[in-house]
Amino acid sequence: MKLHKESKGTITVATLLFAVIAALAIYFLEMWSLLIIVPLLVIYGLVFWFFRVPNRDILDHKENVIAPVDGKVVMIKEVDETEFLKEKAIQVSIFMSPLNVHICRFPVSGNVIYKKYHPGKYLVAWHEKSSTDNERTTVAVESMTHHKVVFRQIAGYVARRIVFYCNEGDAAKAGHEFGFIKFGSRMDIFLPLDTEIICKIGDKTKGGIDVIARMQE
C-alpha cells in the first residue's frame, strides 16, 4: 500500500508511542499486556489506513466538475461567495470522515488564479459557519469553459493541519492532487449559478472519479 508523503511525521510519532506503550505494558502487565497492545495495534493500523493513496485512473475533463475528495455530500445551496467571486454561487459541500482518503484534488481543469490561507477556529466540519470561521484555504481556478470556480479546504474539530501545493499561475487538472487535510474535514466548491448539478445530498463521492456537476461552455 502506498502512503502519502504527509504521513511521515505522524507515522514516526505513532510508531514511537506504540513501541513505548507496548514495552511498558509488557513489562508491568506481562500476560495482561495484550489488553493494551491489541487496541493500540488497531489504532496504529488506522493511522496507516488514513494516509493510503489509492490507485485511480484519472480522465481528462473539460465541462465536468469532478469530486475533489472522498466523502459525503452534505450541502447544495445558493450562497453569496464573498471572498473571491463576490457574487451568488452554488455551494456544494463534501464532508470527509477520518476513515476517508484525505487527498484533495482539483475539481476542474484550467489555471489557478487565486490562493489564500486563513487561520481560524475549529468548529465541527459539518457546521455551516465552518466555511467562513474555521482554519481554511481558498483556491480559485479559471476553468477551460471560462468560468471561475472557487473551492475551499476546511479544517474540522479533529483536522488541524491543511496543506496545499498549488500556486497562482499553475495549471489545474481535474482529479489531480493539489493538497491534503489531516483527519476529519470538509471541502466546499462554489460553482456558477447555471451549472448543472448532478450530485445530491447524501451521495458518497470518490475523489478524482465521480462527476458532481457539469458547466456549459
Classify residue 184: in a domain, yes or no. yes
Classify residue 28: in a domain, yes or no. yes
Same domain? 181 vs 87: yes
Q: How do residues 159-181 score in pLDDT, each as one tens digit?
A: 557 889 999 999 999 999 999 98
Classify residue 59: in a domain, yes or no. no
Same domain? 128 vs 162: yes
Same domain? 81 vs 109: yes
pLDDT of residue 217: 76
Domain extent for 33: 7-50
Same domain? 84 vs 162: yes
Number of neighbouring beta carbons within 10 Å of residue 70: 23
In this predicted structure, the answer to whether residue 200 has a pLDDT above a threshold of 80 is yes
Residues 21-40 have a mean pLDDT of 94
Percentage of residues in the chain with pLDDT exceeding 90? 77
Stronger pLDDT, 86 or 126, i.e. the higher one = 86
- Phi-psi sector, 165: left (phi>0), alpha (psi -120 to 50), beta: alpha
132 band by pLDDT with thresholds 50, 70 and 90: low
- The single residue of 93, 131, 143, 185 carrying the catalytic annotation is 185
Q: How many domains are contained in the chain?
A: 2
Q: How do residues 42-52 score in pLDDT, each as one tens digit?
A: 999 998 998 99
Same domain? 118 vs 171: yes
130 noted as active-site residue: no
31 band by pLDDT with thresholds 50, 70 and 90: confident
Q: Where is average pLDDT lowest: 155-164, 176-185, 190-199?
A: 155-164
Same domain? 129 vs 159: yes
Q: How do residues 49-105 score in pLDDT, each as one tens digit?
A: 989 999 999 999 999 999 999 999 999 999 999 999 999 999 999 999 888 999 999
Same domain? 112 vs 143: yes
Same domain? 25 vs 95: no
Q: What backbone torsions phi and psi does residue 120 show, to the nearest 5 degrees?
A: 180, -160
CATH number, domain of 144, equals 2.70.70.10
Same domain? 44 vs 90: no
216 band by pLDDT with thresholds 50, 70 and 90: confident
